[in-house]
Amino acid sequence: MRPLQVNLDRLKNNLLELGSNANLGEKGYTRPAFSPAEKQALDWLKGRLANLPLTISQDQLGNVYGKWGDREEAAVSFGSHLDTVPEGGLYDGALGVVIGLECLQTLVEHGYEPEVPLELVAFVGEEANPLGGTFGSRAVSGLIAPSEDFDKKLKQFDFIWEDCLSVRRTSDDFRCFLELHIEQGAVLETNQKKIGIVTAIAGILRLFVTIHGRASHSGTTPMPLRKDALLGASQLIQEVNRLAVEAQSDIVATVGEIGITPNLANVVPGEAELMIEIRGSDWNEMKNIEGSIRIWARENIDAEISIAVEKHPNSLSKSIQESIENVCKEENVPYQYMFSGANHDANSLTALTDVGMIFVPSKDGISHHPDEFTSWEDIEIGANIMLQTIQELAKIYTKVR
């Protein structure tokens, strides 16, 4: 008997309708965290869920849940996010939510009777925002710490600390969590694979660096007498790149943010500020890179370095990886195991439960851009792998809480 298959036309219509109805931008898709467009997208989802035999809820921060089955029992949960970066793409985050919706719609219309509760989750504020990326899922997982500065940021969005406390869930609420997402890279496309089975999600270490020089007139300060902060910054950037390349691992290091003072054409820069980001699957290796950066800076420039962000890497559930692999083999779908260099809501949920991730290809590796694209063929394949994996996990986790 052929396994259930998703309705691609319905999935396509849902994704395109969501994109056209909840978009603040003229180029690509702009649906920032906590914006009217994100709220509109969440309302759209609740409207679709209302047509299914689900218990629908929305917590104090805006996270939306659609649960099929006993409200008190732990669920096989799945989902992603609906917010985007400014002028982003159609697929990042939203595809995972819409495919999750389609999986529920398909199961309901075919008379499937879940052995355990199934639950679709749309998390708020996954993309970078003043409250920090993966905000909704981190709050649910109890990974946010209170502070005076954070309280001020919460108030900007009409939240209070008690809202963060109220949305917290525990391991008793989940049997497992599964997220489908576009790869946002070109590995699957390059290797001609249709499914990526994610083994781990990168840790993120960001270092804020202030380099002190001496501002002086560019025409009257001889080259040997200059203390150019931007020159020091450029040397540091080269060193960061060298360390990452020489690691010969999955470590990547980037300086994507830099500013100089006074930033005038006729003044030697007196100060430079930059952000170094290190990502990888091995926390010790990431910290070793940080140590090497600090040693080099101490010996070569006048700089202050502080830690801006620390998010440890997390391995995902091997048993869920095996379930995804088994489904791919049964369907004769080419797949590969791979590491995720981007952070996802799934990473937050590892604090509470077993977690798995499915990647589908991204054309040319483009993401966070209007040209972001995944073919309908690849979407259909990914959706069917997701659908069958959910059914497999429902069987496996029947007795697991």
CATH of the domain at 303: 3.30.70.360
Is residue 129 assigned to a domain? yes
* Whether residue 327 is found in the same domain as residue 305: no
* Whether residue 189 is found in the same domain as residue 45: yes
Read off the pLDDT of each residue in 81-87 and give the average, rounded to a whole number: 97
* Whether residue 49 is found in the same domain as residue 103: yes
SS3 45: helix
Q: Residues 121-180: pLDDT tens digits?
A: 999 999 989 999 999 999 999 999 999 999 999 999 999 999 999 999 999 999 999 999
* Whether residue 98 is found in the same domain as residue 187: yes
Q: What pLDDT is attached to residue 399?
A: 67
* Whether residue 251 is found in the same domain as residue 293: yes
Q: What pLDDT is attached to residue 212?
A: 98
For 183, what's the count of Cα atoms within 13 Å in the CB-facing half-sphere? 31
Full domain range(s) for residue 71 = 8-201+313-396
CATH of the domain at 389: 3.40.630.10
Is residue 246 assigned to a domain? yes
Vertex 26 angle, CA 20 and 32, to 5°? 75
Residues in the chain: 401
Is residue 2 assigned to a domain? no
**pLDDT band with cut points at 50, 70 and 90 for residue 400:** low
Cα–Cα distance between 181 and 344 in angstroms, integer? 9
Is residue 285 assigned to a domain? yes
Query: What number of other Cβ atoms are within 10 A of residue 30's Cβ?
Result: 19
Give Cα separations from 353 to 173, 177, 385 (angstroms). Answer: 9, 7, 21
Looking at the structure of the chain, the number of domains it has is: 2
Q: Which of 278, 311, 344 is the last residue of a domain?
A: 311
**pLDDT band with cut points at 50, 70 and 90 for residue 311:** confident
* Whether residue 20 is found in the same domain as residue 154: yes
In 11-62, the DSSP E strands lie at: 55-58
Q: What percent of the chain has pLDDT over 70?
A: 99
Q: Name the token pair of 131.
A: 């409250």
Is residue 122 assigned to a domain? yes
* Whether residue 104 is found in the same domain as residue 144: yes
Q: Residues 238-289: pLDDT tens digits?
A: 999 999 999 999 999 999 999 999 999 999 999 999 999 999 999 999 999 9
Which residues are within 8 A (CB) of 21 and not within 5 positions of it... i.e. 6 or more apart? 40, 41, 44
* Whether residue 184 is found in the same domain as residue 112: yes
Q: Which of 311, 344, 374 is the last residue of a domain?
A: 311
Q: Are 218 and 267 in contact (CB under 8 A)?
A: yes
Q: Residues 15-40: pLDDT tens digits?
A: 999 999 999 988 999 999 999 999 99
Q: What pLDDT is attached to residue 175?
A: 97
Is residue 119 assigned to a domain? yes
Instruction: Quickly tell me which residue has 């649960």 as its tokens.
Output: 67
Q: Is the pLDDT of residue 319 over 90?
A: yes
Read off the pLDDT of each residue in 226-249 and give the average, rounded to a whole number: 97
Q: Is the pLDDT of residue 309 over 90?
A: no
* Whether residue 88 is found in the same domain as residue 22: yes
* Whether residue 303 is found in the same domain as residue 328: no
Is residue 126 assigned to a domain? yes
* Whether residue 51 is found in the same domain as residue 127: yes
Q: Which of 277, 311, 345 is the last residue of a domain?
A: 311
Cα–Cα distance between 123 and 136 in angstroms, integer? 5
* Whether residue 169 is found in the same domain as residue 81: yes
Is residue 83 assigned to a domain? yes
